[in-house]
A and B are shown apart, each in its own frame.
Chain A
């Protein structure tokens, strides 16, 4: 199993690794915007939509369609990012999606920004910053 997954090994340059961190950052922003759009579009869905129902809604509701397309795009960015750099460094950076979603919810849905949310954001960002620093060694 280890062999199947790990081959072939190749060396990535520091620039490539840094670019990977930026790609994952882009991936988290796209993912957050996608979640907000899907939340906006989800109101058009009934309580228990069938699979066919959902497929039609996604194709005909602009917010849902764009939202899911952005998800697809963010996955492409993630794959490009993972070409270089360590998975164990890059993957936890995705936690930033939670931060962007919270900020966007405050801006768009006028959710309140309370002390807990603010501290949570600060702690997540510090953790990611530590990973980012490790990534550009």
Chain B
């Protein structure tokens, strides 16, 4: 469980770096392969995948999925912190519903 929580934390940074890198993309190859932010994003994703795999080995999937989804909460906070995106009530409502939905869905997967 600790592995998965850590994995989703790292994965949320992956999203932040991908976003930062994506904003700098231009229509030439050089802007892709010299883009360290994209590389960092992909790296963070791969790393988080490894932590998930470690976590899935022992641990019930019905608890693991909601933990993975909790990474979205981190991402939303980083969006505010790093990109100054507004945190609206609508976003929190939607996010809450998605988390509840994933929890209910994984209970059904038992």
Contacts and interface: CB of A to CB of B under 8 A. Distances in A.
B80 A88 contact: yes
Contacts of B100: 123
Contacts of B79: 86-88, 91
What DSSP secondary structure best describes chain B's contact surface?
A: helix
Given A6-B20, A87-B85, A134-B88, A75 B42 contact: yes
B102 A124 contact: yes
Interface string B22-33: 111100000000
A88 B101 contact: no
A95 B88 contact: no
Nearest to A121: B105
A108 B82 CA distance: 41
Interface of A: 1-2, 4-6, 8, 10, 75, 78-83, 86-89, 91-92, 94-95, 98-99, 102, 114-128, 130-131, 134
Q: Which of A83, A99, A122, A123 has the most CB of B within 10 A?
A: A123
Interface residues on B, range: 35 or more
Pairs A-B, 3 closest by C-beta atoms: A120-B105, A116-B108, A127-B97
A25 B32 CA distance: 23
Contact of B23 (A10, A116, A130): A10
Given A79-B18, A83-B23, A130-B94, A119 B104 contact: yes
A92 B101 CA distance: 12
A121 B94 CA distance: 14
B75 A91 contact: yes
B21 A79 contact: yes
B76 A6 contact: no
12 contacts: A5-B20, A6-B82, A79-B18, A79-B22, A79-B38, A88-B85, A92-B76, A92-B94, A95-B72, A116-B108, A120-B106, A127-B94
A119 B15 CA distance: 28
A124 B97 contact: yes
Contact of B90 (A91, A119, A134): A134
